[in-house]
Amino acid sequence: MDLTYTEAEEEFRRELRTWLGANIPDEWTRPGFWEALGDDESFRVRRDWERDKALAGFAGIEWPTEFGGRGGTPGMKAIYDEETVRAHAPRTVNPLGLAFLAPTVMAIGSDAQKKEIVGPLLRNEVIWCQGFSEPGAGSDLAALATKGVRDGDDFVVNGQKVWTTNAVHGDKIFTMVRTEPGSQRHRGISMLLIDMHQDGVDARPLKQMSGASEFGEVFFDDARVAATDVLGEIGDGWRTAMLLLSFERGASGIGQYTEFRRQYDEIVEVARTLGRDTDPVIRGRLAKVLTELECLRLHAMHVLTQVEQGRDLGFEASMTKLQWSETFQDLWEVHDDVLGEDATLDSLGDLDLRPLHAQAMWSRSVTIWGGSSQVQRTITAERVLGLPR
């Protein structure tokens, strides 16, 4: 066991802390600040800030320098995830591009794609959306029906995507489209890279149960995309998608732990304020969540170790997702337990509960998106435990 980082990694931590300390205004750390700003303004501020961060060298931490990354270690990425949460850095506006598209392009993209996609993405010059889910294709992604018909050098795309993060702010969308007429299931799909700024693409916000609109819907009505704007081979989109999703294994467990642990401490503070911190039932529930949070932290160190050792975690990513998402949801259930009969109120005395409610509502989404808990359990049972399909 060696739970320390290298000297170079700790030096990176110091540099990053210094930069974050100088570049995050105090008011950003105030609870409810971002919610009060409104979706559009929040997005603009975060987009600019993240660009400046990239220009300062704090983006693409573990990406090769030839792609504009920092060429850092997996440990530096973990430190980055931890420190940005600690410093109350705003959420990225390009989450799917950074986590999924960029590594896939670096792995299988053409030379032109590597040049045109990765750098601009890193600097937020292009906001990328992911077009996977459809009204009829949620957990069953292979049921997707969005069609692309060849017309000269282009595909003409028709259909609808849904649960698209940042849909209304998106510039481009990597999209799973059925490009072989009459094809079934996993065959005949292509990963098309579609410009969202055209008449044939209509992105609309989707108001969520929380009241916010992180997600949206994207409608394709004779949208055009050059047949060369495909990631991987034409008709081989399923394989591209599986490769793309495999990059989730690098999920930022240490950053998640840091964030959730702070939320735990906030909930404990609410319990203290209300005098609920001595209630043995509440204490037991809080301790149960804390136990799972600690397990999440240790699991993140396990994952980081495996990555550093060059081992393929494969389907263990499903376990990671289950552990963080179910624990996060439990955490916010305990928050409501702490509030008891006042759980739905906007405020209690001086305590504004609305930012906390926003997190509690959000926690209902995390066990659905990115592969629902039910899908993750099936994957774990079949691919890890070897139970029959």
Partner 1 sequence: MFFALTDDQREFGTAVTTYLAERFDLEAVRGVVEDPAGDGNPAALWKAAAEQGWLAVTVPEEHDGLGLGLIEAQVIARSLGAGVAPGPWRGTVLAAEAIRLAGSPEQQAAWLPKLASGEAVGAFSLRANRTAVEYAAVADVVVLRDGDGLVLVERGGFSTEPVGSYDGTTRLAAVHAEKGEALPGGAAALAELTARATVLVASDLAGVAREAITRTVAYDREREQFGVPVGSFQAIKHALADLHVGVTMAEHAVLYAAHAVDTGADGADLAVAVAKAKASDAALAATAAMIQYHGGIGYTWEHEAHLFYKRAKRLVGQYGDADAQRERIATLTIG
Active site residues: 248
* Closest approach of partner 1 to the CB of residue 282, in Å: 9
CB closer to partner 1, 100 vs 257? 257
Cβ–Cβ < 8 Å for 28, 36: no
C-alpha to C-alpha distance for 78 and 292, rounded to whole angstroms:
20
Question: Is the Cβ of residue 22 or residue 385 nearer to partner 1 in the bound state?
Answer: 385
Nearer Cβ to partner 1 (23/305):
305
Nearer to partner 1, 86 or 239 (CB): 86
- Output 149 or 270, the one with its CB closest to partner 1: 270
- What contacts 210, CB < 8 A, 6 or more positions away? 357, 358, 361, 362
CB of 314 to partner 1, least distance (A): 14
**What is the smallest separation between the CB atom of 75 and partner 1, expressed in angstroms?**
6
Residue (of 103, 144, 137, 112) closest to 243 by Cα position: 103
Phi/psi at 110 (5° precision): -70, 165
User: Which residues of the chain form contacts with partner 1 (CB under 8 A)?
Assistant: 1-5, 75, 78, 264, 268, 271-272, 277, 280, 283-284, 286-288, 290-292, 294-295, 298-299, 301-302, 304-305, 308-309, 319, 322-323, 374, 376-378, 380-382, 384-389
Q: CA–CA distance from 294 to each of 157, 324, 328 (Å)?
A: 47, 11, 12
Among residues 106 and 338, whose Cβ is nearest to partner 1? 338
CA-based angle 114:116:121, to the nearest 5? Answer: 90
Radius of gyration (C-alpha) of the chain in whole angstroms: 22
H or E stretch at 222: strand 215-226
In angstroms, the CA 59 to CA 78 distance is 13
Cβ 379 to partner 1, closest distance in Å? 8
CB contact at 8 A, 219 and 204: yes
DSSP bridge partners of 151:
154
Instruction: Supply the minimum distance, in Å, between the C-beta of residue 297 and partner 1.
Output: 9
In the bound complex, what is the minimum distance in angstroms from residue 123's beta carbon to partner 1?
30
Mention every residue, 6+ apart, whose C-beta is less than 8 A from residue 283. Answer: 277
